[in-house]
Amino acid sequence: MHLIKNASVYAPEEIGVKDVLIGGGKILKIGDELPVEHAYDITVIDGTGKVLMPGLIDAHVHILGGGGEGGAKTRTPEIMLSDIITGGVTTVVGCLGTDGCTRTISNLLAKAKGLEEEGITTYIYTGSYQVPVRTLTGSVMDDIILLEKVVGTGEIAISDHRSSQPTKEEFAKIVADTRVGGILSGKAGLVNIHMGDGEEKLEFLRYILEKTQISAANMLPTHINRSTTLMNDGIDYARNLGGYIDLTTSSDPDFLEPDEVKASTGLKMALDAGVLIDHITFSSDGQGSLPIFHADGSFAGLGVGKVTSLYREMKDAVLKDGVALSDALKPVTSNPANLLKLGQKGKIRENADADLVLAEADTLEIDTVIARGRIMIYKREVLVKGTFEN
């Protein structure tokens, strides 16, 4: 059992200075000056001068590695546990990308199980860029219903030269099967949609909202901030049609494409334009491959997307873009939890999972990370590492 005392709690809404008692992997009690003098075997963590927030949820991570578009040597490696927790992330959703051939759903499922055994919470999407969707059981609906960790489909690529160039009807069938699979299994039934830079932009999603009875909550288009044009289309889609949009955080701020929008800046743009905060999420695209360019625009090599970028962009939204911490936290905590129907995640409340991040109040530098009640990082030292980490 652990008692966090005198921390400013953001649940993600600000609820003031509180003590938070955790045990058995759950948040047991939140209150003012909880007594500890008679407590048995309890660790007290001083939260004075710090903020306590929910553990972050990253709903788009290439846990098996990504890339490969430059040949086999450009395949990025599998992610390690410390790559995740050092960014305050305690829940991830694994996905496949361009390569649905040499990386498979069975590999993805095994990797997700391994990470969970090491201490965090994991889920996966079935499928990859390709249409027809490659699944484990032979059916999108069956994968969602029968495989506990599968919460949706993705990342399905549209408006991109690497996609399978599906028709609107083919795309609608994938979303429909995913939705029904979610209904029958009590899961989200969410389609994670890779948005390229094609002229169609969000046309396929608009088609579904206009021509079917499917909810916008079953579709999450990601990489919306890859260009100003797509960002503005995403803002219009979210503001006027009630859609949800996901901003990617992993691009290096020092090597942004000329028209690319930094995720923290995109959040401020969307809020200023009238998009509801509950309709915006961040994800890292972690462990995907990232091209790096010199200052003159020449190719410098390949980098790897970092899950830690999720926390960086949340922090920059507060410290650089002037977004309130309670709002900046929602795209990485309660919003993905709500979309993915993870009722025990993304919030600090009694009986919720004890996924917590304690950070310095002034700099938001991470001090402590707790996943399912286990201290993973304490006083900036990583206590728990992956099986094959040094």
Distance separating alpha carbons of residues 383 and 367, to the nearest angstrom: 12
Distance separating alpha carbons of residues 265 and 263, to the nearest angstrom: 5
Q: Which of 259, 271, 264 is nearest to 248 (CA)?
A: 264
CA 195 to chain centre: 16
> Active site includes 367?
no
Cis peptide before 166 (omega within 30 of 0): no
What SS3 state is found at 195? strand
- Active-site residue identified among 58, 143, 233, 285: 285
Tell me how far CA of residue 46 lies from CA of 7, 52, 249, in angstroms: 8, 11, 31
Bind-site residues: 60, 62, 67-69, 98, 129, 162, 194, 223, 226, 285, 289
Distance separating alpha carbons of residues 231 and 261, to the nearest angstrom: 8
Bind-site residues for Zn(2+): 60, 62, 194, 223, 285
User: Which residues partner with 124 through β-bridges?
Assistant: 94, 150
Tell me how far CA of residue 167 lies from CA of 74, 132, 170, 233, 249, in angstroms: 30, 11, 5, 20, 29
Which residues contact residue 155 at a Cβ distance below 8 angstroms, ignoring those fewer than 6 apart?
60, 95, 96, 97, 125, 127, 128, 129, 192, 193, 194, 222
Distance separating alpha carbons of residues 140 and 177, to the nearest angstrom: 7
What SS3 state is found at 49? coil
Distance separating alpha carbons of residues 264 and 285, to the nearest angstrom: 15
Rg over alpha carbons for the chain, rounded to the nearest Å, is: 20
Bind-site residues for substrate: 67-69, 98, 129, 162, 226, 289
Task: Give per-residue burial for 79-102: e unless 16+ CB within 10 Å, then b.
Answer: bbbbbbbbbbbbbbbbbbbbbbee
Active site residue ranges: 285
